[in-house]
Chain A
Amino acid sequence: MSASQPTPTTPDGSVNPASVLDPEGAHFSALERVADFAGARVLEVGCGDGRLTVPLAERAATVVAFDPDADAVDAARADLPAELAGRVTFAAASATAIEIPRSAFDIVLFSWSL
């Protein structure tokens, strides 16, 4: 796991500042065991508050991250380190409505969002 700070969220989307989800980075470690993000164009579906977006962006060429929860997307945008801003595009949208070009990504990640 990178030096990215974990954020206080739960898998079902609730937020609790008295808790920290996965400070060990188990989720991202598992993702890295099955996929190589280096240089990839990644579409993150259900990014929530961006807990996985930051380590993705640290490795990928570009990340398009979206979630229907506009507040969570705002939080993700605010927490994104400035040095990664050029690689990440956030959107508040649903997976059924968002307009995305065909054949534009190497990896699509569904984070509890299918």
Chain B
Amino acid sequence: MHVLRRLRETLVPEGIVLDLQVIRPHPIVEVDGTVLCEIDGSSLFVGADAARAAVDLLIAEQLLKQEAVDDHDVRNHYCDGVALVADFETGGRKIPVAAIPLLQAVERECVVRERCRVRRLRRIDPAPQGLGGLGWTAP
């Protein structure tokens, strides 16, 4: 069972699911407000796409209802370019090789800006099928 389907059961009826994900476009590196390069965020998008598909499936099954979406930018501040490059040596996101010397020469704050989305979804439950639905009526 997918984790979303499992944890939906922990909600009260009409409880809320909030799903926070990274979204496209690829993150960018800024110095003093100027864009220096783009970072390949594909590795995170794979998981985000799978999460979106899982949510959409439960919406299609009428187990969740989407009520709101909020897209916003998030900034990760690095003390300098060396710190930024070092942070991206591990993990899936990649700085273009050609941009690494340029970034490592930056001795002031660098900012990675990326786009994120939060979706608000409400748990909905199918109406219970009573005996009336079977054509039976109380005497």
Interface residues of chain A, those whose CB is within 8 Å of chain B, are 10-14, 16, 18-24, 26-27, 29-31, 33-35, 43, 45, 95-96, 100-114
Contact = CB atoms under 8 A, between A and B. Distances in A.
Given A16-B83, A108-B18, A112-B21, A34 B78 contact: no
A22 B75 contact: yes
Interface of B: 3-4, 6-13, 15-22, 43-44, 47-48, 50-51, 54-55, 67-70, 72-80, 83-84, 86-87, 90-93, 114, 116, 118, 120
A16 B49 CA distance: 26
A11 B11 contact: no
Given A16-B87, A106-B12, A114 B51 contact: yes
A103 B18 contact: no
Contacts of A108: 7-8, 10-11, 15-18
A19 B74 contact: no
A96 B2 CA distance: 8
Given A22-B74, A24-B75, A114-B50, 11 more contacts: A16-B78, A19-B87, A35-B18, A43-B10, A96-B3, A100-B10, A103-B10, A105-B11, A106-B16, A108-B18, A110-B18
A110 B19 contact: yes
Contacts of B4: 110, 114
A34 B87 contact: no
B20 A110 contact: yes
Given A108-B8, A108-B15, A109-B18, A30 B76 contact: no
Given A10-B91, A11-B22, A11-B114, A103 B12 contact: yes
B89 to A, nearest CB: 10
A111 B51 CA distance: 11
A112 to B, nearest CB: 6
Contact of A27 (B47, B55, B74): B74
A100 B18 contact: no
Nearest to A11: B22
B93 A12 contact: yes
A112 B10 contact: no
Contacts of A107: 11, 15-18
